[in-house]
Amino acid sequence: MKDLKKRLKQGATLHGCWLSLGSSLTAEIVGMAGFDWVLIDLEHGAGSEKDVLHQLQALEHTPAAAIVRIESAQRQRIHRILDLGAEGIMVPRISNATEAAAVASGLHYPPDGTRGIAKMVRASGFGQNFPDYYKNGKENILGIVQIETAEVLHHLDAVAATDGIDVLFIGPSDLSMELGIFGQLDHPLFKDALKATVNAAQKAGKAAGILIQNPNDYPTYHEMGIRFIACGADGTFVSEGARNMANKLTSFR
């Protein structure tokens, strides 16, 4: 474990990016680049659950902690990914405290949750480290819910107060779409939603997070109190690198 939860509680700002290609090679390359965490995307990414294991193995020796975004809060989906060795789970489109509680419950073993127990899994060293993994799981596993719906804006305090939820992560595209202002991140409605999310997280002693499109926007969000910040993806890095090189070569033709 790479102490993401502990570092967030200490007030650190943690930087991450998306892994959308389903590739263990790009996972390893990005993991070695200097990010604190990377997110394997099973909601929109090209990879499937069978690709997660190889990406987790590739990330093991890098400084980046591995988080996986799953498609729903089904308990079986959560604990299957955790058993593979993920250090955190992100769940999209949480709308209220009941849904947030379902996520938190799936993250942890009884009596703190409803996660199924299997000792011979990768996360516990195939049984060799299970006592420690079981004992320290609640302090190590990061629970992240995405703030992407109009409804959740009416329940931010309750979601943030949910035990086991550590990060309220804003999805700018989906949230602005829900608010009827798609892509207008300077719109007062979006700014108000952003501030309300950060305030709810801070009151509950939790962190707020966001995915930004332009790294130059970083100071704006950091000054607001957002401490879990992602920018870019492996697919974007490959695409931009290839396009830049092709354009540079063309300029010499």
Percent of the chain with pLDDT over 90: 97
Which DSSP helix (H) or strand (E) runs through 29?
Answer: helix 24-31
Give me the mean pLDDT over the 95-105 stretch.
97
Q: Which phi and psi (to 5°) does residue 208 adopt?
A: -105, 145
Confidence of residue 75 (pLDDT cuts 50, 70, 90): confident
Give me the mean pLDDT over the 21-44 stretch.
98
pLDDT higher than threshold 90 for residue 218:
yes
Residue 69 is given by DSSP the state E
For residue 193, the number of C-alpha atoms closer than 13 Å in the C-beta half-sphere is 32
**Inter-residue contact 142 to 89 (CB < 8 Å):** yes
pLDDT higher than threshold 90 for residue 21:
yes
User: What pLDDT was estimated at residue 109?
Assistant: 95
pTM: 0.96
User: What pLDDT was estimated at residue 1?
Assistant: 84
Q: Which phi and psi (to 5°) does residue 118 adopt?
A: -145, 120
User: What pLDDT was estimated at residue 209?
Assistant: 98
Give me the mean pLDDT over the 116-133 stretch.
96
Give me the mean pLDDT over the 183-205 stretch.
98
What are the structure tokens assigned to 182, written together? 């798609």
pLDDT higher than threshold 90 for residue 73:
no
Confidence of residue 211 (pLDDT cuts 50, 70, 90): very high
- Dist CA 89 CA 56 (whole Å): 13
Query: pLDDT tens for residues 222-248?
Result: 999 999 999 999 999 999 999 999 999
**Inter-residue contact 193 to 175 (CB < 8 Å):** yes
For the chain, give the mean pLDDT.
97
What are the structure tokens assigned to 183, written together? 């892509």
Percent of the chain with pLDDT over 70: 100
Give me the mean pLDDT over the 114-135 stretch.
96
The domain tally of the chain equals 1
Confidence of residue 2 (pLDDT cuts 50, 70, 90): very high
Residue 177 identity:
M
Confidence of residue 74 (pLDDT cuts 50, 70, 90): confident
User: 44 catalytic, yes or no?
Assistant: yes
Q: Cis check for the bond before 188: say yes or no (omega within 30 of 0).
A: no
Instruction: Tell me which residue range forms the domain holding 58.
Output: 4-252
User: What pLDDT was estimated at residue 128?
Assistant: 96
Task: From the candidates 15, 44, 54, 154, give the one annotated as an active-site residue.
Answer: 44
pLDDT higher than threshold 90 for residue 94:
yes
Residue 78 identity:
I
**Inter-residue contact 95 to 155 (CB < 8 Å):** yes
What CATH number should be reported for the domain holding residue 42? 3.20.20.60
